[in-house]
Amino acid sequence: MIESLENELVTFRSDPLLDSPKVCNAGRHLSAVEFHSVLHDAGNNLESQAQNQFVLLDARNLYETRIGKFQATNVETLDPKIRQYSDLPSWIDEHSEKLHGKHILMYCTGGIRCETASAYIRSKGAGFENVFQLFGGIQRYLEQFPDGGYFKGKNFVFDHRISVGNQDDVISSCLLCGSSFDDYSSRCRCNYCRMLVLVCYDCQAIAGRKYVCELCQRNGKGSEPMMLQENELHEELSSDSLEATEITNATFPGVTTPTQTHKTYANNHLRKLRILCLHGFRQNASSFKGRTSSLAKKLKDMVEFVFVDAPHQLPLIYQLRPSEPDLLSEQTTDAPSSFQQSPPPTMNCKKRFAWLIDPNSNSLEEQGWRMADVPFNPLQYQQQTYGFEASYYYLKDVILRMGPFDGILGFSQGAAMTALFCQQQQKRCSVMDFRFAILCSGFSAISRDRSKESIRCPSLHCFGNSQGQDRQIANQASRELADMFEEECSIVIEHDMGHIIPTRSPYLDQMKEFLRRFI
């Protein structure tokens, strides 16, 4: 089983230099029944001194609170309307007067976010002691009160269902026309920040529209739906030159991936494929973007690459390098100065990340520079099996905030994570978040005996052949990864180069041919 021990399941602060509050100081847990009873008693208490004694604080993001929240008589519901959880500390700081001296009833989807947020409120001292949190979150509450109880609307969930609850209980409305509506589509997002927005079916049918969420409107980025912009099409196009074309997976029969509507233009301009890129072990989004710049340039008319850092930060490693290699044979107990431990580099270096980590490593606790305690092991990837669950939900959040994406590209460990993600989606969801996967110089982190069912996602596998120069990932390891995918919808490209993604013919031509199937 792939598992990990995490310091934080959800990032509370965007600034890595600031410590998160200690959850040992979190608010008192209330069961679903206790939480319900407090709201019931507050609503039935008509004494003036009881008025405004309680406040409900929603610890979720705006796209979640839009479609459902707790509402009770005599209890004010505070909706921070934040874009992401790491914005909550600032909201608490700026609105502390609304919380001071009150009995604060906090809630979120499953209870995780309230642990840290309630501890942060209590850390403010006098007047902020009475903080309570709904144990198990909205999910546990709705299990106890299937009719909804004091929760109105629907509960946003992070899987293919998107929301659960009474289908007739609608508290939200369409961003454009204001009609009652609460059915999210992953294709309807703010043009600026990529947050999900609610757009009814009639308004979605209006071709060429893009949307501006409430938060971006508040920041002066426009209040009207936006037509397709000139810089997106590379030249000015009139609305009558658009022709909607339905693209299906006819090329790969029997494969269930999202059907998407693309825009085909009279002058042969096509919407670019958006591809989420996962870097390798001990890399980051910036370095991977640099390493793939040549590929991006040669595919610029077809794709848009989006790069993200993995969630597990690693310590920076340095090794001793002798100034006189010929002295090695003369090394004694008292090593010469050229082999003495030297200090780590003093320049500022960018952080390094991983999707999967060695369960025996201390990378989760250790930051900064560390001297390598063992020589480089080219087979170290075989021990990197922990941390998947955190990486999976991290990617789900990335897709929610920055998507939608057409495909996913993984390099080395990023390819292993791509395969794990696709396999997990196949188990948990009826529809995958990606229409295709590209796996370069990858290896399998899936035990074959636990993965008897092939991954049914169109895939392209690109790796060095048995005579190639890839000294990090063996040809057989990459081939075993390719074997995890359904053979009839996968393509294998073997090259004679090293641990890279080739950008010359014929390999680039084969990649382009694969991508054209989805345009």
Q: Which CATH number fits the domain that encloses residue 148? A: 3.40.250.10
Q: Which of 108, 174, 188, 422 is catalytic?
A: 108
Q: How far is CA 509 from CA 84, 164, 394, 408, 506, in A?
A: 40, 45, 33, 19, 5
State the pLDDT at residue 161: 74
**Residue 257 in domain:** no
Length of the chain counted residue by residue: 519
Low-confidence winner among 20-24, 144-148, 193-197, 437-441 (lowest mean pLDDT): 20-24
Residue 40 sits in the same domain as residue 180: no
Domain boundary among 189, 222, 255: 222
3-state secondary structure of 78: strand
What is residue 453's DSSP assignment? S
Cβ(352)–Cβ(314) under 8 Å?
yes
pLDDT band at 433 (very low <50, low <70, confident <90, very high): confident
Residue 108 sits in the same domain as residue 186: no
| Spatial distance between the Cα atoms of 75 and 331, rounded to a whole number of angstroms | 75
**Residue 479 in domain:** yes
Low-confidence winner among 95-109, 316-330, 352-366 (lowest mean pLDDT): 316-330
| Spatial distance between the Cα atoms of 441 and 479, rounded to a whole number of angstroms | 10
Domain boundary among 222, 256, 290: 222
What is residue 139's DSSP assignment? H
Residue 7 sits in the same domain as residue 54: yes
**Residue 435 in domain:** yes
Residue 60 sits in the same domain as residue 208: no
Nearby residues of 330 by Cβ (< 8 Å), 6 or more positions away: 336
Query: How many other C-beta atoms can be found within 10 angstroms of the C-beta atom of residue 360?
Result: 7
Residues 401-407: what's their mean pLDDT?
89
| Spatial distance between the Cα atoms of 443 and 484, rounded to a whole number of angstroms | 10
Cβ(178)–Cβ(417) under 8 Å?
no
**Residue 347 in domain:** no
State the pLDDT at residue 257: 39
CATH number at residue 282: 3.40.50.1820
In the numeric block, the tokens 């340095």 are attached to: 318
Cβ(122)–Cβ(104) under 8 Å?
no
In the numeric block, the tokens 């209870």 are attached to: 111
**Residue 259 in domain:** no
**Residue 463 in domain:** yes
**Residue 247 in domain:** no
Q: How far is CA 298 from CA 232, 289, 357, 502, 503, in A?
A: 18, 14, 33, 11, 8
Residue 89 sits in the same domain as residue 192: no
**Residue 130 in domain:** yes
| Spatial distance between the Cα atoms of 498 and 496, rounded to a whole number of angstroms | 7
121-125, 192-196, 363-367: range with highest mean pLDDT:
121-125
Residue 162 sits in the same domain as residue 177: no
Q: Does 174 have pLDDT greater than 90?
A: yes
Residue 389 sits in the same domain as residue 466: yes
Q: Is 108 a catalytic residue?
A: yes
Residue 490 sits in the same domain as residue 402: yes
- pLDDT single digits (tens) 223-262: 444 433 323 323 222 323 322 222 233 333 333 334 333 3
Low-confidence winner among 92-106, 159-173, 179-193 (lowest mean pLDDT): 159-173
| Spatial distance between the Cα atoms of 158 and 135, rounded to a whole number of angstroms | 19
- Could you tell me which of 134, 108, 135, 106 has the C-alpha nearest to residue 120? 106
What is residue 475's DSSP assignment? H
For residue 143, what are its two tokens?
């299990």
State the pLDDT at residue 166: 76
Residue 161 sits in the same domain as residue 202: no
Q: Mean of the per-residue pLDDT values for the chain? A: 77
To the nearest whole percent, how much of the chain has pLDDT over 90? 45
Nearby residues of 39 by Cβ (< 8 Å), 6 or more positions away: 54, 70, 72, 75, 105, 150
pLDDT band at 507 (very low <50, low <70, confident <90, very high): very high
Range of the domain at 513: 273-313+385-517
Low-confidence winner among 60-69, 107-116, 440-449 (lowest mean pLDDT): 440-449
The count of structural domains within the chain is 3
Residue 101 sits in the same domain as residue 212: no
pLDDT band at 123 (very low <50, low <70, confident <90, very high): very high
- pLDDT single digits (tens) 142-155: 999 999 999 999 99
In the numeric block, the tokens 């002066």 are attached to: 220
Residue 182 sits in the same domain as residue 42: no
Residue 187 sits in the same domain as residue 206: yes
Domain boundary among 126, 141, 166: 166
Q: Does 330 have pLDDT greater than 60?
A: no
**Bigger pLDDT: 339 vs 493:** 493
